Amino acid sequence: MSSVSASQTNSVALGSIDRSELNVCLRPRTLIRAALTSVIVCAAVPIAALICLIAGCIALGACLILIVVLVAASYGFVPVGGVLLALAIFNQERRELFAVSGIGVGILGFHLSTVFSPWFNPIRDTANLAFAACQQVADFLYTDIFVGLYIYVWSWSVLLGALLAAAAVLVTVWVLSHEAQIKRTLLRIRYTCPAADCTYQGVPYFRCPECSTVLGDLKPTIFGVLHVRCGQCREHLLPTCDLMGRLQLEKQCPQCSVDLEHPAFGRLGEMHVVFAGASSSGKSNLMISAIRDLERAVAPAYGLRVQFTNDAEEQEFRNRCAQMDEGRVQEKTTSSANPAAFNLSIENRRGKGALMYVYDTDGSDFETEDRLLGHAFHEYTKGIVLVIDPFAERGVVSKLGLSGNGKLTPVSRQR
Ligand SMILES: [Zn+2]
Ligand SMILES: [Zn+2]
């Protein structure tokens, strides 16, 4: 239809989604942090137990050192006193001095030993007690907590969770990237471009609502599973699949750049119907009549809603209806490998229905096999309305007595 082929086209340069950062679950630093967390959680309790043991050893060592110091302080003066007395024997000049000093140091040592001796056992007991307490705490931490509560197993759940999340992201990307194939198989949604001479079928390009950049790769990727930022403005979070609302964005055909405006495009299953027949057999008239009856009679009777792609296409249809009502012949359909289609949706109140592509083919296309083979839409056409004009057949004309001036002559009068 001229309305479809005249749809607005957009020549904005093709853009891309933001590919600067991977999905948070797939980033190396996320996995490294998860691994470090697991290692820290796993090692924390054994390290705490080890620290307790070391603390016990330090306490034990400190007590032992203290005992050694006290022993030295207690009995160390006795040999000093003995040495001084020996010097008093051999040194005539300072005998008195060494003797007095030796006796004094001996008395001091004896006194200190009587003072410090009672401390030895309490210090030793304290050292043993501290070491035993530290050992007990360390044993509790390692045996009851680390082993008993399976911390050595559960601590790795952080890393395992991160790896599972990364795997889930990859699986989700893979599943959602097949959304178009699933919709094509189960719902008959092929994303067929309705423009004349365009044979494109597939996921269209989408336009960023923020900067109007046409994005050719708006789909689930490792850079964005459900949503991704526009690579141009990096502001708008765009849905990556139809399930998340991608179809709400403006769409453009990758092949012919026509805007794909119909609100049911990609949402309703497609139904392709072809009006075929010889030249001047009345295909266009029948097609317009059929759509008009569908809109005026069938749809209201069954509670259906018929909607055209846009106002321009609907106006084109109204003009052709008026043209037909006035008795004027429809313009001859031009030959095309992929004729333009009237695009109209038929929906019930629950939003269920179909997106119809009604093709008006040129009769001359059926005269040669090569041109007919060029009609790719026959591969997925659901129905062909074959229009035959009986009055174009010479045998019928002669039997009916259709005269050269186009008026019927009763057979009885011919006889
Ligand atoms: Zn943008
Ligand atoms: Zn197209």
**Range from 76-85, 307-316, 365-374 carrying the lowest mean pLDDT:** 365-374
H or E element that contains 99 = helix 95-116
* Residue indicated by tokens 């010479």: 394
Q: What is the whole-number distance in angstroms between the Cα of residue 204 and the centre of ligand 1?
A: 17
Is the pLDDT confidence value at 395 over 50? yes
Same domain, 136 and 218: no
Same domain, 290 and 369: yes
Same domain, 93 and 66: yes
Does 183 map to a domain? Answer: no
- CA of 18, nearest ligand number: 1
| Residue 70: predicted pLDDT | 83
Is the pLDDT confidence value at 365 over 90? no
- CA of 218, nearest ligand number: 1
**Range from 139-143, 304-308, 367-371 carrying the lowest mean pLDDT:** 367-371
Q: What is the whole-number distance in angstroms between the Cα of residue 84 and the centre of ligand 2?
A: 117
Q: What is the whole-number distance in angstroms between the Cα of residue 251 and the centre of ligand 1?
A: 14
Closest Cα to residue 210, out of 237, 239, 247? 237
| Residue 1: predicted pLDDT | 46
**Range from 97-101, 163-167, 179-183, 243-247 carrying the lowest mean pLDDT:** 97-101
Mean pLDDT of the chain: 84
Is the pLDDT confidence value at 7 over 60? no
**CA geometry: angle at 218 spanning 212 and 220, to 5°?**
150
Does 201 map to a domain? Answer: yes
Q: What is the whole-number distance in angstroms between the Cα of residue 238 and the centre of ligand 1?
A: 9
Digit-coded pLDDT (tens) for 89-124: 887 777 788 888 888 887 887 787 788 778 888 888
Range 122-138 average pLDDT:
90
Same domain, 15 and 134: no
Helices (H) and strands (E) in the chain, counts: 14, 11
Q: What is the whole-number distance in angstroms between the Cα of residue 258 and the centre of ligand 1?
A: 20
Digit-coded pLDDT (tens) for 31-44: 999 999 999 999 99
| Residue 386: predicted pLDDT | 87
Does 184 map to a domain? Answer: no
Of the pLDDT bands very low, low, confident and very high (cuts 50, 70, 90), residue 182 is very high
Same domain, 276 and 391: yes
Is the pLDDT confidence value at 268 over 90? yes
Higher-confidence residue of 238 and 389: namely 238
Domain coverage including residue 14: 2-23+190-252
| Residue 245: predicted pLDDT | 94
Q: What is the whole-number distance in angstroms between the Cα of residue 204 and the centre of ligand 2?
A: 9
Please say which residue of 111, 141, 157 terminates a domain: 157
Does 259 map to a domain? Answer: no
Q: What is the whole-number distance in angstroms between the Cα of residue 215 and the centre of ligand 1?
A: 9
| Residue 415: predicted pLDDT | 45
| Residue 83: predicted pLDDT | 82
Q: What is the whole-number distance in angstroms between the Cα of residue 246 and the centre of ligand 1?
A: 14
Q: What is the whole-number distance in angstroms between the Cα of residue 88 and the centre of ligand 2?
A: 123
Total structural domains in the chain? Answer: 3
Q: What is the whole-number distance in angstroms between the Cα of residue 245 and the centre of ligand 1?
A: 16
Is the pLDDT confidence value at 349 over 70? yes
Q: What is the whole-number distance in angstroms between the Cα of residue 243 and the centre of ligand 1?
A: 20
Digit-coded pLDDT (tens) for 37-71: 999 999 999 999 999 999 999 998 998 898 888 88
Q: What is the whole-number distance in angstroms between the Cα of residue 205 and the centre of ligand 1?
A: 13
| Residue 215: predicted pLDDT | 94
- CA of 231, nearest ligand number: 1
Closest Cα to residue 287, out of 279, 275, 302, 296? 275
| Residue 337: predicted pLDDT | 56
Same domain, 295 and 384: yes
Share of the chain above pLDDT 90, in %: 45
Does 264 map to a domain? Answer: no
Strand, helix or coil at 240? coil
Same domain, 18 and 35: no
Same domain, 246 and 300: no
Task: Name the DSSP letter for residue 231.
Answer: T
Q: What is the whole-number distance in angstroms between the Cα of residue 369 and the centre of ligand 2?
A: 24
Q: What is the whole-number distance in angstroms between the Cα of residue 337 and the centre of ligand 2?
A: 13
Q: What is the whole-number distance in angstroms between the Cα of residue 216 and the centre of ligand 2?
A: 14
Same domain, 206 and 141: no
Q: Token pair for residue 341?
A: 């289609």
Strand, helix or coil at 1? coil
Q: What is the whole-number distance in angstroms between the Cα of residue 250 and the centre of ligand 2?
A: 14
- CA of 208, nearest ligand number: 1
Same domain, 194 and 223: yes
Does 335 map to a domain? Answer: yes
Of the pLDDT bands very low, low, confident and very high (cuts 50, 70, 90), residue 334 is low
Please say which residue of 105, 133, 157 terminates a domain: 157
Same domain, 153 and 71: yes
Q: What is the whole-number distance in angstroms between the Cα of residue 10 and the centre of ligand 1?
A: 16
Range 408-412 average pLDDT:
54
Does 305 map to a domain? Answer: yes
| Residue 414: predicted pLDDT | 46
Q: What is the whole-number distance in angstroms between the Cα of residue 81 and the centre of ligand 1?
A: 96
Which regions of 236-362 does DSSP assign to beta strands (E)? 237-239, 250-252, 269-277, 305-308, 341-347, 353-360
Q: What is the whole-number distance in angstroms between the Cα of residue 193 and the centre of ligand 2?
A: 5
Same domain, 341 and 383: yes
H or E element that contains 384 = strand 381-387
Does 263 map to a domain? Answer: no
Of the pLDDT bands very low, low, confident and very high (cuts 50, 70, 90), residue 316 is confident
Please say which residue of 102, 133, 157 terminates a domain: 157
